[in-house]
Amino acid sequence: MKLKVQMIGVDLDGTLLTTDKKLLPYTASVLKAAAGQGKIVLPVTGRPLCGVPEELLALHGIRYVISANGGRIVDRKEEKILHEDLLPAETARRILNIMGEYDAMREVYYDGIGYAPRECLERIHTYLSYPPMAEYVVSTRIPVDDVMVKFEQEKRGVDKLQGLFAKAGERDEALERIRQIPGTAVTSVLEKNIEVNAGGVNKGKAVRLLARMLEIPLAEVLVFGDAANDIQMVREAGIGVAVANAVHEVKEAADYVTGSNDEEGAAKFIEKYVL
């Protein structure tokens, strides 16, 4: 049985990429084949655009990217921002100040680029214990001497904020405080992180928006996810698929469960049910 699919949205970390952050050849070949059949294939990620792997963007047919948990939709072919939902500067300042009370690496995202304090990047393993994730962050962020100086110089809203905390208990305390701030969408998908977008922003909303722009029925949108920031997308798309390593809430929201990210479950599902 083949599913009627026009658009395929895939989360990256924990879903499309292996646990050691690799895009495997079989997965790449399946995505390329889907795009070759005219399907819209796109990454839907919490990462900034600069954090999307080059080998994925280089695949023929990868035109659109939803980044920053749905805060930004980009058309790479036309080099246009199709939609952005920025976290207002005043709100971002409050959150950055709260994070600054703890041992946390504060990141600000502007125009698809992540900025982080140089001294925190130099001791990244304080904040990220898993080497491939630490390597990804260090290799994709632009180091700045003081993230608050960068923030005040920009004088505008941010795509997204992230805090990576040294201690889980401090993350939990900061998370409780930040969730009280109105006009925010707050998630935590890593052991000790906090991600903050403008209120109402999520991957599901962005997928719906892009489908509407491209005049694709939501029923013909297939998405894959694993973490808390994928729940709305998996629930709202016509066909929502959880990988085997997904958190319970994503599996509950999904129509199907496929193999894990390390088993290339998303690609196997696409090959079996779409190609």
Tell me which CATH code domain 89-198 carries.
3.30.1240.10
Sheet holding 64-67, edge to edge: 64-67, 72-75, 80-84
3-state secondary structure 64-85: EEEEHHHCEEEECCCCEEEEEC
* pLDDT value of position 87: 97
Listed as ranges, residues in the chain with pLDDT below 50 are none
* pLDDT value of position 191: 81
Encoded amino acid at 102, one letter: Y
Q: Which CATH class is domain 7-85+201-273?
A: alpha beta
Q: Please report, for the chain, the start and end positions of each structural domain, with discontinuous segments joined by +.
A: 7-85+201-273, 89-198
Those residues whose C-beta lies under 8 Å from the C-beta of residue 127, and which sit 6 or more positions away, are: 104, 105, 120, 134, 164, 165, 166, 192
Give me 165's structure tokens. Answer: 């905390």
Please name which of 80, 21, 77, 78 lies closest in space to residue 45, comparing C-alpha atoms.
21
* pLDDT value of position 1: 86
pLDDT in tens, 185-244: 999 888 899 999 999 999 999 999 999 999 999 999 999 999 999 999 999 999 999 999
Give me 202's structure tokens. Answer: 């999520």
* pLDDT value of position 40: 97
